[in-house]
Amino acid sequence: MSTRDALNALQSQAGAGDGRDLVINCPKCRTQGAKAVAYDLVESMDVVIRHRTTWIKCLACGAKLYSKRKAEDLAGLSAEQLEKIVVVRISLISKLFAVLSILTCIIPFFGLVVSIIATLLNYRHRGWLRWFSLVGLIISIIPTVLFLIPRGH
Ligand SMILES: [Zn+2]
């Protein structure tokens, strides 16, 4: 798929030569000099609150990356310059579950369910999110198993 096709699929009004074709060092798939496109997303609630975010789609792996700057400000920046601007954004829900995974892991069943969700949300991320989720999952198996073992009277 060409950059232009991908951009048009994302944003139908994108015209030729609008300068939103980018080359990035993808933080997700680690491709150096990967082709990417930038697009703005405007979420509006009523007509008062308007929240604009800018996203970069890596065409090597299809990852949706968060841009700290607006799409129009990214034109002409090198892959090295973009490294500080284009990041993997982790949702609040993912972070919340990673922390809950540790906090609730001693509770039978509930802790297990929470850490399974946390692991599903976070296993593709690097760093503490994955470790919190996995450690929570491993620990939470113990109270659940102990709870299930019939106790003698
Ligand atoms: Zn990528």
Distance 34 CA to ligand 1 centre (A): 7
Q: Ligand 1 center to residue 125 CA distance, Å? A: 13
Tell whether the torsion through CA atoms of 102, 108, 110 and 114 is positive or negative. Answer: positive
Distance 139 CA to ligand 1 centre (A): 33
> Does 134 map to a domain?
yes
Residues 121 and 70 in one domain: no
Could you tell me the distance, in angstroms and rounded to a whole number, from the CA of residue 6 to the centre of ligand 1?
14
Give residue-wise pLDDT tens across range 98-111: 999 999 999 999 99
pLDDT in tens, 9-50: 665 444 434 556 899 999 989 999 999 999 888 877 777 777
Q: Does residue 14 sit in the same domain as residue 63?
A: yes
Asked if 81 and 98 sit in the same domain, the reply is: no
Q: Tell me how many helices (H) and strands (E) the chain has.
A: 5, 5
Specify the number of domains making up the chain: 2
Could you tell me the distance, in angstroms and rounded to a whole number, from the CA of residue 83 to the centre of ligand 1?
A: 12
Same domain, 29 and 81: yes
Is the pLDDT score of 150 beyond 80?
yes
Q: What is the DSSP string of 39-96?
A: EEEEEEETTTEEEEEEEEEETTT--EEEESS-GGG-TT--HHHHHTTEEPPPPHHHHH
Residue 1: pLDDT above 80?
A: no
Q: If you measure from the C-alpha of residue 149 to the centroid of ligand 1, how many angstroms do you get, rounded to a whole number?
A: 46
Q: Which domain holds residue 122?
A: 92-148
pLDDT tens digits, 110-146: 999 999 999 999 988 778 899 999 999 999 999 999 9
- Exposure string for 118-147, b = 16+ CB within 10 A, e = fewer: bbebbeebeeebbebbbbbbebbeebbeee
Dist. CA 42 → ligand 1 center (Å): 23
pTM: 0.58
